Amino acid sequence: MNLRKLMLFNPLIDLEEEVTDSKEIGILGGIWIAVLFSLIIPVTIQIILLITTLIAAAILSSYEGLNAIKDIFKSPSFLLISSIFSLMATVFIMNKFFLVKTNLIFPERKFKKRDIIGVIFLILGFRLLFSGSLSYILDLIPIPKSIEDTFNNLFINPFIGIFSAVVIAPIQEEFVNRGIILNGLAKKYSSKVALILSSLIFAAMHMNIPQGINAFLLGLILGYVYLKTKSILLTTLCHAINNILAFMPELGSLSNIHVLIAISILVVIIGIILMLVGLKRLDLKNRQIHFDSLRKQHDYDDEFNINI
């Protein structure tokens, strides 16, 4: 499928092919982009939809129509529509104000079908490692009721909930967090500092501690992959698979503490092994060397040569 047929994806493909590149940004710039993405854009979209709905209800002049507005805003369909419009607005605004044209095009496809196995192993390993260790502690920390209610309302319709989590969120978050924030920070700071800062910003955007810690660790992995490959499609796939695997049953449901400890240790070991296998399969170090060589041959700036 040619994603360029869907105009929404053109900025992502341009970033993947390095036709565009992120502007240099500092810490405050990264925080501003995060606030714009996670608060200002979605709230603005919801206000616009609210006004539109109120006008429609007023035209109908029905008490039932006005009374049903509260239910509409809690419905999965409204949340999906809001997410789609937020995605469109985010891509447009970020592309307009935070990306610049390079007048170049990367000469080779970065993401290949054989990467899928490596990504699955890497992210499955991460999920198992996390599930067998930190998840027990984070399960003790409550999630804010507003965020929990939003998730519950979204997953009233499982299809809408899964589509939002597995398709919309990875595209939107990777375009902003890796394609713009990490990319921009890496032009101003060392790659290691940029990786940590972008992961912290990614964690803060989730606005709760349990998801934030998970997001920070995931951000380190996705950021590392992006710095090595500069492939937004590769990190988006990683993110989507992570969100799919987040639906795996938790080990904490086991009642026997001895069995729980034994299985947790086994799961952690398997997770580490799978992550190492996934990283070896993706061959990120050699891929970076190859990609940097191609950039030098095609007169790319030195800013693309990122070492980590």
Instruction: Report the percent of the chain where pLDDT is more than 90.
Output: 59
pLDDT of 308 over the 70 cut: no
Alpha-carbon dihedral sign for residues 174, 176, 179, 183: negative
CA angle 49, 45, 28 (to 5 degrees): 165
Average pLDDT over residues 140-147: 83
d(CA 101, CA 70): 44
Contact 211, 153 (CB under 8 A): no
Backbone torsions φ then ψ of 100, nearest 5 degrees: -130, 155
What are 74-125's pLDDT values in tens digits? Answer: 677 888 888 999 999 999 999 999 999 998 899 999 998 999 999 999 999 9
What are the two backbone dihedrals, phi and then psi, of residue 19, each rounded to the nearest 5 degrees? -70, -30
What are the boundaries of each domain within the chain?
Answer: 3-304
Amino acid 1: pLDDT: 52
- Helix 115-131 to helix 232-245 angle (10° resolution) is 40
In terms of pTM, does the model score above 0.95? no
The tens digit of pLDDT for each residue in 30-65 reads: 999 999 999 999 999 988 988 887 776 666 655 555
Give the separation between CA 270 and CA 283, rounded to whole angstroms.
Answer: 20
pLDDT at 261 > cutoff 90: no
